[in-house]
Amino acid sequence: MVQSRTHTCNELRSSDIGKKVVLAGWFENIRKVSKNLGFLVLRDFYGTTQIVVETEEMMQIIDSVNKETTLSVEGVVRERSSKNANLPTGDIEVVPEKISILGRCSYNALPFEINQSREADENARLKYRYLDLRNPSVKEKIVMRSKIVAELRQRMSELDFLEITTPILTCSSPEGARDYLVPARNHPGKFYALPQAPQQFKQILMASGFDRYFQIAPCFRDEDARADRSPGEFYQLDMEMAFASQEDVFQVIEQVLPPVFEKYGVYKSASTLPFTRIPYLEAMDKYGTDKPDLRIDLVLQDATEIMADCGFGPFENQVVKAIVVDGFSASRKVIDKICAEVEVQTANKAFWFKVDENGNLVGGISKFLEPRKEEVIQTLGLKAGDFVGLTAGKKLTAQKTAGVLRKLLGAASEKHMKQDCYEFCWIVDFPMYEIGEESGELEFCHNPFSMPQGGMEALKTQEPLEILAYQYDLVCNGVELSSGAVRNHDPEIMIKAFELVGLGEDDVKAKFPAMYNAFCYGAPPHAGIAPGVDRMIMLICGEESIREVIPFPMNKNAMDIMMGAPAEVEQKQLDDVHIMIHLPQEEEQ
Considering the domain architecture, whether residues 204 and 243 belong to the same structural domain is answered as: yes
Contact 494, 458 (CB under 8 A): no
Considering the domain architecture, whether residues 97 and 162 belong to the same structural domain is answered as: no
Residue 586 resides in a domain: no
CB atoms within 10 A of CB 571: 11
Residue 163 resides in a domain: yes
Residue 31 resides in a domain: yes
Write out the E strands in 282-386: 300-302, 319-325, 351-355, 361-362
Distances (CA, A) of 96 to 54, 55, 83, 236, 568: 8, 9, 19, 48, 50
What is residue 514's predicted lDDT score, i.e. its pLDDT? 92
Residue 454 resides in a domain: no
Considering the domain architecture, whether residues 91 and 167 belong to the same structural domain is answered as: no
Contact 89, 25 (CB under 8 A): no
What is residue 1's predicted lDDT score, i.e. its pLDDT? 40
Considering the domain architecture, whether residues 261 and 307 belong to the same structural domain is answered as: no
Considering the domain architecture, whether residues 202 and 272 belong to the same structural domain is answered as: yes
Phi, psi of 4 (to 5 degrees): -85, 155
Number of domains within the chain: 3
Considering the domain architecture, whether residues 77 and 148 belong to the same structural domain is answered as: no
Alpha-helical runs (H) found in 159-269? 199-207, 246-264
Considering the domain architecture, whether residues 224 and 319 belong to the same structural domain is answered as: no
- Residues 192, 103: Cα–Cα separation, whole Å: 42
Q: What is the CATH number of the domain that holds 223?
A: 3.30.930.10
Write the burial class of residue 482 (CB in 10 Å: 0-12 exposed, 13-18 middle, 19+ buried).
buried
Is residue 283 classed as helix, strand or coil in its secondary structure? helix
- Residues 333, 103: Cα–Cα separation, whole Å: 55
What is residue 2's predicted lDDT score, i.e. its pLDDT? 46
Considering the domain architecture, whether residues 323 and 362 belong to the same structural domain is answered as: yes
Q: What is the CATH number of the domain that holds 321?
A: 3.30.1360.30
Considering the domain architecture, whether residues 313 and 253 belong to the same structural domain is answered as: no
Tell me the chain's radius of gyration from C-alpha atoms: 30
Residue 368 resides in a domain: yes
What is residue 162's predicted lDDT score, i.e. its pLDDT? 98
Considering the domain architecture, whether residues 186 and 305 belong to the same structural domain is answered as: no
Beta-bridge partner residues of 321: 302, 391
Considering the domain architecture, whether residues 391 and 479 belong to the same structural domain is answered as: no
Across 282-314, b (16+ Cβ under 10 Å) vs e yields ebbbbbbbbbbbbbbebebbbbbebbeebebee
Residue 3 resides in a domain: no
What is residue 589's predicted lDDT score, i.e. its pLDDT? 44
- Residues 59, 40: Cα–Cα separation, whole Å: 10
Angle at 286 between CA 285 and CA 291, to 5 degrees: 90
Beta-bridge partner residues of 434: 443
In SS3 terms, 41-62 reads as EEECCCCEEEEEECCHHHHHHH
Q: What is the CATH number of the domain that holds 92?
A: 2.40.50.140
- Residues 204, 258: Cα–Cα separation, whole Å: 29
Considering the domain architecture, whether residues 185 and 270 belong to the same structural domain is answered as: yes
Range of the domain at 166: 139-276+424-430+469-489+524-571
Nearest CA-CA partner of 520 in 478, 492, 481, 487: 492
Distances (CA, A) of 298 to 251, 286, 362, 400, 418: 28, 9, 21, 15, 11
Question: Could you write out the DSSP letters of every residue in 245-271?
Answer: -HHHHHHHHHHHHHHHHHHHSSS--BP
Nearest CA-CA partner of 399 in 287, 479, 277, 280: 287
Mean pLDDT by 10 residues, the chain (589 residues): 81 97 97 94 97 95 96 97 94 97 95 96 96 97 98 98 97 80 94 94 97 97 80 94 98 97 95 96 97 97 95 96 93 95 97 94 95 95 95 96 97 90 97 89 89 96 96 96 96 95 91 92 97 96 94 92 95 93 70
Residue 288 resides in a domain: no
What is residue 231's predicted lDDT score, i.e. its pLDDT? 84
Contact 43, 94 (CB under 8 A): no
Residue 98 resides in a domain: yes
